[in-house]
Amino acid sequence: MTPAPGPTRRTLADGRHIFYFDDAGTTHTRTARDLRELPSATIESQMRYDVLTGEWITMASHRMTRTHLPTTAECPLCPTTLAGAPTEIPEANYDVAVFENRFPSFAPAQDELLSANRFGPDDRRAVGHCEVMCFSSDHTASVGELPAERLRTIVGAWISRTEELSADPSVEQVFCFENRGEEIGVTLTHPHGQIYAYPYVTPRTQAILAQADKHFQSTGRSLLADVLAFERQDGARVVYAGEHWSAYVPAAARWPIEIHLAPHRDIPDLPSLNTEEREELAYVYQDLLRRIDSFYPGIDRVPYIAAWHQAPIRIDRHLGRLHLQLFSILRAPGKLKYLAGSESAMGAWISDTVPEAVATRLRELA
């Protein structure tokens, strides 16, 4: 695999950074400037500690004013052209572009504000990073339909941004993900994902780490590795078996369609992938997206969330293991899986599907 060039870093009008990742074999000169008149961003998100659950809740009221379902002509993620208004991406074309979110839940530390005791004793400023990752300059594209070389660029961008964000001492966990579909809550239909760099370890990760620690204390082995080994041996829920990766429907799947994709090696995060693993990932990731889009006859684009679970940077890192959680809230054509009373209030999940039947359907779509 020919390596893609490293990112080109530029600065937007309000001081935010943008990174261009080009497909291997392409050459672009990134000279366009952001000519918008934008005020410097002032982000004052705060985190409040929920003493009932032990979780941090982020208050980001400025996000109420973020762009919501603009027309194609007003899309802020399309490239800037002479015929249209300037967008978040100054260049007239791009392959993959990553930029700091204009309406972030978490923002880099501002020293002059950190010293101010503005919140209660259990509150903190929401220090971290939120980035937007555009997968294509084509407004109507879908990741499952992109050229194979673009998937390699996307994997490289995930790795590059995870490496840089993990080096920030205020960051505890990096989360790369894509929300696709208005049913999920997407406010921009342009093909894009996001990267969050949290100042704490997230609740789901904490729950997984707690279970992994119990398993390690009793067996001396990795819980996530043992789950993968069991699924590969059993085979009933496996939907992809490759040289370096396997994908399966989890035995206790919560969502109508849910797939876990895991590397065969015990590695903590995306930057730990070797060349062969990255190459196969670019293939299998797109393959799984295509299967989800074909799951329901008559529906071309099924709403989904693609979520990369990476080990925390410092806390219990040895217990974490890289894996992708890919799922859809669509339980049937025109019917969504709503998190109603049991799920929302009690955290007690009721599944509408049987994992083995979902796995059978996904295998049929290979």
CA atoms within 13 A on the CB side of 214: 5
Average pLDDT over residues 144-169: 98
Average pLDDT over residues 250-276: 98
Average pLDDT over residues 262-272: 98
DSSP 293-335: HTSSTT-S---EEEEEE---SSTTGGG---EEEEEE-EEETTE
Tokens 């390699």 correspond to 152
User: What is the band of 120 on the pLDDT scale with cuts at 50, 70, 90?
Assistant: low
Average pLDDT over residues 180-207: 96
Name the residues annotated as catalytic: 192
Q: What percent of the chain has pLDDT over 70?
A: 95
- Share the mean pLDDT of the chain: 93
User: What is the band of 113 on the pLDDT scale with cuts at 50, 70, 90?
Assistant: very low
Higher per-residue confidence, 123 vs 272: 272
The whole-number pLDDT of residue 180 equals: 97
Q: Look up residue 259 and give its two tokens.
A: 């797939």
CB 88 within 8 A of CB 99: yes
The whole-number pLDDT of residue 122 equals: 67
Average pLDDT over residues 259-284: 98
Rounded CA-CA distance 178/154 in Å is: 12
Report the range of poorest mean pLDDT among 18-32, 110-124, 219-233, 334-348.
110-124
* Domains identified in the chain and CATH numbers: 8-200 (3.30.428.10), 204-364 (3.30.428.10)
Report the range of poorest mean pLDDT among 37-41, 147-151, 303-307.
37-41
CB 81 within 8 A of CB 94: no
Spatial CA neighbour of 328 closest among 294, 298, 284, 360:
294
Rounded CA-CA distance 49/38 in Å is: 33
The whole-number pLDDT of residue 121 equals: 57
Residues 6+ apart with CB under 8 A from 247: 238, 239, 240, 259, 260, 261, 262, 284, 288
The whole-number pLDDT of residue 5 equals: 67
| Helix count and strand count (H, E) for the chain | 7, 16
Stated pTM of the model = 0.94
148 φψ region: left (φ > 0), alpha (ψ -120 to 50), beta (else): alpha
- Indicate the pairing of strand 330-332 with strand 173-180: unpaired
Tokens 């080990």 correspond to 311
